[in-house]
Amino acid sequence: MFKNLLKSSLIIAIALVLKSHKTDEGMFPLSQLNKVDFKTAGFALNQSDIFNPQGVSLTDALVRLGGCTGSFVSPEGLIITNHHCVFGSVAGVSSKEKDYLENGFYASNKSEELKVGLTCKITKSYEDVSELVLDSVSPRMSPKQKKDIINKNIQTILKRERAQNPDLTIEISEMFVGYSYTLFRYQTLKDVRLVYVPPRTIGEFGGETDNWEWPKHTGDFSFVRAYVGKDGKPAEYSPDNVPFVPKKHLTINPKGTKSDDLVFILGYPGTTYRHQPAQFIDYHQQYILPFISEWYGWRMQQMEELGKNDRDLYLKMAPTIKSLANTKKNFEGKLFGLKETQLLKTKQDEQDELLSNMKSQKGNTQFLNTIDSLYKIRLENAQKNLILGRFSVDCGSFNAALAIVLLKEMYPKAPKKSDTLFWNKWKAELSKKLKGQYQILNPKLEEFTIAELVKRANATPSIQIKGLKKIKNPKKWASKIYKKTLLTNPTQFYAMIEKEPWKVYNSKDKLVALAEEMMPHLRASSEEQTAVSLKLDEQLPQLLESKIKYMNQSFVPDANSTLRFTYGYISGYKEGLNKHPQPYTYRKEIFEKNSTDNVDYRLSTPVKDLLKTDLIDQRLLDPETNDLAICMLYNMDTTGGNSGSPVMDKNGHLVGVNFDRAYTATLNDYSWNKDYSRSIAVDIRYVIFTLKYLNNANNILTEMGINL
């Protein structure tokens, strides 16, 4: 009975969810392309040109590259993406002698391309599996029972699909919590090599000063190439591998765009929160956003100091510093956007209206009370949970200590050294727990971090842990224990696990002692947060259904790293909202920034000489200003994960590479806004200019079909 009701309710609700909505907002899943009025919007394309499961379409040129997006731009597996998307990979193959991060990298032929630790995925097909995932779920079940059944059903479906498609990567994505699920089939390419990355003073021009800002003058682009085995199938790296031949690659439009032109993006946007209740916004605005932005700022400062006189250490930490800086400013922008648009009030007013409508129609409003009570718990414990959570997130050595404590709890009595069977099992389980959790960026950073966390924990009234309260001088305490602990040296620690696991079990390490003291508190914090999340997940489908039924609302599913389509127009800011309301930036403005003392605006001599040149093909210059366009601005609906997404014109031709949102558009994760939502791309004309006149990279230009 319930299964039939669920199926009926699901079909009706999804039909309503997929109703047409405002065309200037939305990250459309492939299944919703039929809701876009392509002709009215100004496209010279139709739905099947974007996605065509029976033929070839633009989606065949798209790849998911790590946490970013990329697109094929040649028949030989050449992919264009962002500089910041390969930043970590470039740092990984750099050294003091070959500093590709600073000086850039260019492979003049395929034999010079460098293997990097990236993979890319191509979306092959998708299928709604909501009914299968929700099979046997009953409203009478507890949140945990529902979650367990859903997870079990997902694993069953994945197992069957993977057996049927052994050459594909199979994933199931939750489109609406506890409500709608889609199965995606991906082709995964495992051999990706670096082809081109511009010098840092191009690829990261503006640095943190201009991060999430407009105007920007950043050449945030790079090229990699995907390879496969000689049989054409995905394969691990081998010198014998050959370039992948995509079903589709994008055509370049070297003329670029002009103001008000239609543009669109295909990409893999990460996570948005647009269907969460008002209390979620309150929780983020009060606690998550300010805490994380401040904490990341502190972490960055420690890393910068540690790497100041050690270039190799700095290169090792550079990707982490960049990631922290990116998130820090993003969160600060979100706070700004939430306050400017008063989104919390808008959400609360909407929820109040929903409550009023439901009461007038005698609807069951209990779930709204439940949401409110659950968020009261979350808000009351927010500061405590945030601080305690950082001990394991940011301290690999403490994570290792926790793993030892957990296993000692499982095996409270250690047998004799001679019990080989037990110790083999114990060290295997310990190694498994440490995998992926035990990473030491730098021992001194670990020491400083745990000292700071102890200090903050002791200053938080809701955290009452005796082992922490005894520490009167956290810096001195941390300095002392980190001189003796083996846990900041993974090589030595793993050697001890392998040779003398009983010594690890009986360790008197002070970090292990602290972990034992904190374990009950960490466990209680985790269990409480899990219980609240499970109960909230149970309420969200009811919130969605009620908005559809009582407020006649329609929805696009929140972004979840699955392939999405969004479109908009080249569009600047209204006067007064930004110091540079125009939708383009130009070459001459780079020198205005460079004339200041700000190191983020430095230019290396080769780059400065490049930008001064008058020997530019006239076809690359903007006809109105006779200058070279660097970046462009548009009102598309984008978020994290859209980094590297191709920006295409009405014909589906590449005109730019999306790499950022303006400061005001970090709000997009919670809500799209017609005045504040603006995203930024490097103009394809600047990409071509750099390749041609800095490196004379004619092999890449010719491969992309560009002849200057």
pLDDT on residue 23: 44
The yes-or-no verdict on residue 3 having pLDDT over 70 is no
User: In this predicted model, what pLDDT tens digit does every residue of 600-618 receive, in sequence order?
Assistant: 999 999 999 999 998 899 9
Amino acid at 323: S
User: Chain centroid to CA 206: how far?
Assistant: 21
pLDDT on residue 24: 52
Among 31-35, 551-555, 593-597, the least confident range: 551-555
> Does 675 reside within a domain?
no
Q: Which of 75, 76, 72 is nearest to 61 (CA)?
A: 72
The answer to whether 62 and 51 are in contact (CB under 8 A) is no
User: In this predicted model, what pLDDT tens digit does every residue of 104-141 receive, in sequence order?
Assistant: 999 999 999 999 999 999 999 999 999 999 999 988 88
- DSSP H or E segment with residue 200: helix 200-203
For residues 112 and 131, membership in a common domain is answered with no
- At a CB cut-off of 8 Å and minimum separation 6, what does 167 contact? 187, 233, 234
> Does 260 reside within a domain?
yes
User: In this predicted model, what pLDDT tens digit does every residue of 422-435 receive, in sequence order?
Assistant: 999 999 999 999 98
Average pLDDT over residues 151-169: 97
The answer to whether 460 and 387 are in contact (CB under 8 A) is yes
Confidence band, pLDDT 50/70/90 cuts, at residue 484: very high
For residues 287 and 369, membership in a common domain is answered with yes
Task: Kindly state the tokens that stand for 408.
Answer: 């000692």
Task: Kindly state the tokens that stand for 488.
Answer: 């900041």
- At a CB cut-off of 8 Å and minimum separation 6, what does 181 contact? 128, 129, 130, 133, 134, 154, 172, 173, 174, 175
For residues 102 and 126, membership in a common domain is answered with no
Report the SS3 class of residue 225. strand
Average pLDDT over residues 163-182: 94
Give me the sign of the Cα torsion angle 280, 281, 287, 291.
positive
Which of 163, 188, 213 delimits the end of a domain? 188
Q: Domain containing 478: what range?
A: 278-532
For residues 472 and 577, membership in a common domain is answered with no
User: In this predicted model, what pLDDT tens digit does every residue of 182-220 receive, in sequence order?
Assistant: 999 999 999 999 999 999 999 999 998 999 999 999 999
Which of 159, 188, 217 delimits the end of a domain? 188
> Does 240 reside within a domain?
yes
Distinct helix (H) and strand (E) counts, the chain: 27, 19
For residues 134 and 183, membership in a common domain is answered with yes
The yes-or-no verdict on residue 10 having pLDDT over 60 is no
pLDDT on residue 19: 39
CA distance 331 to 266: 25
pLDDT on residue 408: 92
Task: Kindly state the tokens that stand for 72.
Answer: 């094929």
> Does 394 reside within a domain?
yes
Q: Mean pLDDT across the chain, nearest whole number?
A: 93
> Does 549 reside within a domain?
no
Which of 146, 169, 188 delimits the end of a domain? 188
What are the DSSP calls for 516-581, one per residue? HHHHHHHHHHHHHHHHHHHHHHHHHHHHHHHHHHHH-----PPPBSS-EEEEEEB--PPTTS-S--
The answer to whether 628 and 178 are in contact (CB under 8 A) is no
Average pLDDT over residues 684-691: 98
The yes-or-no verdict on residue 457 having pLDDT over 90 is yes
Q: Tokens 């040779």: give the residue.
A: 499
For residues 488 and 564, membership in a common domain is answered with no
For residues 365 and 468, membership in a common domain is answered with yes
For residues 342 and 411, membership in a common domain is answered with yes
Burial of 256 (0-12, 13-18, 19+ CB in 10 A): buried
Give the start-end residues of each E strand in 61-119: 62-65, 68-72, 78-81, 105-106, 114-116
For residues 421 and 524, membership in a common domain is answered with yes
User: In this predicted model, what pLDDT tens digit does every residue of 298-347 receive, in sequence order?
Assistant: 999 999 999 999 999 999 999 899 899 989 999 999 999 999 999 999 99
pLDDT on residue 317: 93
> Does 488 reside within a domain?
yes
User: In this predicted model, what pLDDT tens digit does every residue of 334-391 receive, in sequence order?
Assistant: 999 999 999 999 999 999 999 999 999 999 999 999 999 999 999 999 999 999 999 9
> Does 541 reside within a domain?
no
For residues 149 and 202, membership in a common domain is answered with no
Q: How many domains does the chain have?
A: 3
Among 7-21, 449-463, 567-581, the least confident range: 7-21
pLDDT on residue 333: 94
The yes-or-no verdict on residue 16 having pLDDT over 50 is no
User: In this predicted model, what pLDDT tens digit does every residue of 612-667 receive, in sequence order?
Assistant: 998 899 999 999 999 999 999 999 999 999 999 999 999 999 999 999 999 999 99
For the chain, the straight-line distance linking the first and the last C-alpha, in angstroms and rounded, comes to: 68
CA distance 487 to 400: 7
pLDDT on residue 436: 81
The yes-or-no verdict on residue 690 having pLDDT over 80 is yes
CA distance 108 to 86: 19
Average pLDDT over residues 7-22: 42
For residues 572 and 524, membership in a common domain is answered with no
Give the predicted TM-score (pTM) of the model.
0.86
Average pLDDT over residues 150-174: 96
> Does 477 reside within a domain?
yes
Report the SS3 class of residue 5. helix
The yes-or-no verdict on residue 94 having pLDDT over 60 is yes
What are the DSSP calls for 435-449, one per residue? TTT---S-HHHHHHH
For residues 520 and 630, membership in a common domain is answered with no
Of the chain, the percentage scoring pLDDT greater than 90 comes to: 89
